[in-house]
Structures are given as C-alpha cells and as structure tokens.
Amino acid sequence: MLIREAAADDWPRAARIANAGFMVDPERTGEGAGRALAEHVLAAAAADGYRGMVFNAVVETNPAVALWTSLGFTVLGTVPRAYEHPRHGPVGLHITYKAL
C-alpha cells in the first residue's frame, strides 16, 4: 500500500468537524459539570461554523455514555479492550459523533 504525505489542500476537505475530549473528576459526577462542558463546546462549535463534532474515547462503562447519547451523539464504533478499567479490566472506548 502506498501512503503519501498529506498536501496542504487536503485539509479543507476534512475541515468543519470539531473534535472534543475532556474528563470530569469522578468525585464531581452527577453535578452537571459534564453536561455544562458539553453544551458549551457544542454551542461554540456551531457558532464557529462546524458541521459536526466527534467526541473520542468515551469509556463504554462510563455513565457519560448516557450524557452523550442524550445530547444527540451516536456511537460510530468501539475500540475493543482499549481502556484498562480499575474494576472491570479491559473495556472498550466509544467514538461518538453528532451533526451540528
């Protein structure tokens, strides 16, 4: 397989999809911090003209999965056994997407 270096004119074709990733301290779970952050980055991305947003690495056992789906994100795929959970052992990481 031939792989070429990306040319400068390749970037506009991939533009306008925002990428977010953050974690909330487990001791602050349920206080609304994750939702407030999510709503903020979604509004900022939409205001800046992005067409969609990808949120990477949502641990499949994390209650945040429900937050992201409630905000309209869809799980595009799961990387199996990509996170070493302290209680559950190796678990998957979801890649999620939402059109804006």
Q: What is the DSSP letter of 49?
A: T
- The domains of the chain, with CATH numbers, are 16-24+31-99 (3.40.630.30)
pLDDT confidence band for 32 (50 / 70 / 90) = very high
Q: Which two tokens stand for residue 23?
A: 């974690």
Dmax (CA) for the chain in angstroms is 49
Residue 64 pLDDT exceeds 80? yes
Better-scored residue on pLDDT, 39 or 15: 39
Identify the top-confidence range among 13-17, 23-27, 50-54.
50-54
Burial zone of 52 (CB within 10 Å; 0-12 exposed, 13-18 middle, 19+ buried)? middle
**What's the pLDDT at 39?**
96
- Tell me the average pLDDT of the chain: 87
Q: What is the side-by-side order of every strand in the sheet holding 89-99? A: 17-20, 52-59, 89-99, 74-85
Q: Choose among 60, 56, 22: nearest CA to 41.
A: 22
Residue 74 pLDDT exceeds 90? yes
d(CA 90, CA 78): 13
pTM of the model: 0.79
